[in-house]
Structure 1
């Protein structure tokens, strides 16, 4: 399903605040934090196979069991009601409450490690509802950078290379829904609005200035300090620049490869190429 804005769902501020405060007492997983530079990607499973909160790694769940609310969802009544009101529960596979701050996420494709699962149990469609966000939270697909605003419902094509930047000390908190791809007369969400052809609205898109020659030269000078120990820091700088300046398609991976190729240690280039394979081409469970 193509990335697109669907519409808005109303949020009850008081009840949402109460649930988010309660969620602080739950056990949060830091699975998938290897995708993140700067901090941790934290998630709390609210709906999962077997109703098991588990460890947050979707391949670790028993996909033969039906999906259901977890014990964590039972402690967050408003979020449970919200999930029930917006999603087709018959095809709902996982729902995570996810938060991140002061971090960027490596450009990647999701779902690669799920290829061996049957259609009726494999995540195929991803939906987001931002619950807490701000103007310094960005999503990126291809060369398009955009914002998802509080209470909006979005479908994201997680099979496309995408990344995230939360350039703020305030936590960005989203509900993330994963659906299976099986025939049904019902829509995946009850929220009505634009269809897939609408894509990303122009007023959600960030208009970035073109990357200047001086900015490109500055990034290339990072080759002087690029070593196996500094790869994450350099990656973070390149990703942050991508969210502020338009360097064209595949900017992050292309630039990191060029910097690594110019570095003194040849092992760095091999490492970057392996990272690119793992995050965008082929990944085992």
Structure 2
């Protein structure tokens, strides 16, 4: 299902604050932090196959087991209520409490490493509910940048190339749901869909076109692009994407062009490998930070 706004929950801020304060005592996983420049991306598994918190890497769970609340999930009564009030738990495979700040996530596609898991068991549909966020936190799908506000329920098409950026040290805290592709078990949500099936215009960030002078300045980064500076240059390109409209495929096309022009012979093979890994083909079991 395409990315779209669904509904807005009225969050009980007092009960939510109590749960989030308690969640600080959890041992958060940093799995998938290799998708970030800055980071880390931390998550605690609240619902999982077998009820096991595990290591946070979706390929490392036994999909033959029934999914249920983990010990972490059972310790958060208000967030439990949110989960069970919106989700069809017969299709629910995983729920993670995710925390992210002052970082960017490399444009990527999800689920491509789950191909070996039986189709009716593996995660195939995603839902986001922000619990705490801010105006300097952005999402993008392809070349469209948008914001999710606290309490909003979103279908999220994780199979499309997407990215996230936070320009603040204030944490963004989301609940991330994954569902199996079993439509015979009913819809994934138990609440009415109040959206119009799209990312509505009021939630889209209108970015000015990338000026030619800034595009030329980015191109000159090839002169300092080495394996030692790769992540810093990559972060500049990703951050530019969230502030300026550079066109379709801007981030990866720019990084590959810079890599071709780099004097460091190791850079282009590295960039090509990353592009393959994040957007085209990712081995099962990969993604560990």
Scaled to the shorter chain, the TM-score interval is: over 0.9
Q: Determine the C-alpha separation between the residues in 2 that align with 1:107 and 1:214.
A: 24
State the alpha-carbon separation in 2 of the partners of residues 193 and 149 from structure 1.
16
| Matches of 2:186 and 2:276, distance apart in 1 | 37
Structure 1 residue 220, shift from structure 2 partner: 1.1
Tell me whether 1:209 sits opposite 2:208 in the alignment.
yes
**Structure 1 position 262 matched with structure 2 position 261:** yes
TM (norm. structure 1) is 0.98
Q: Once the 2 structures are TM-superposed, how far is the Cα of residue 185 of structure 1 from its aligned partner? A: 5.8
Which residue of structure 2 aligns with residue 234 of structure 1?
A: 233
Gaps of 5+ in 1: none
Alignment partner of 1:198: what SS? coil
Runs of 4+ in 1 over 4 A off after TM superposition: none
Aligned to 1:43: 43
Q: Could you tell me whether the CA contact under 8 Å between 2:90 and 2:185 is conserved in 1?
A: no
Contact 1:9 1:191 in 2 (8 A): no
Deviation at 1:198, TM superposition (A): 2.2
CA contact (8 A) 1:102 1:168 kept: yes
In structure 2, runs of 5+ residues without a counterpart are 285-289
Q: C-alpha displacement at 1:88, in angstroms?
A: 0.3
Say which is worse superposed, 180-189 or 118-127, in terms of deviation: 180-189
CA distance in 1 between counterparts of 2:16 and 2:102 reads 23
- Per the normalisation by structure 2, the TM-score is 0.96
User: Residues 1-285 of structure 1 correspond to what in structure 2 (within 5 A)?
Assistant: 1-184=1-184, 186-194=186-194, 198-285=197-284
Deviations 1:132-172 (A, max 9, x none): 00100100001100000110000111110000001111000
Deviation per CA, 1:74-119, whole angstroms, max 9, x where unpaired? Answer: 1111111110111000000000000100000000000010011112
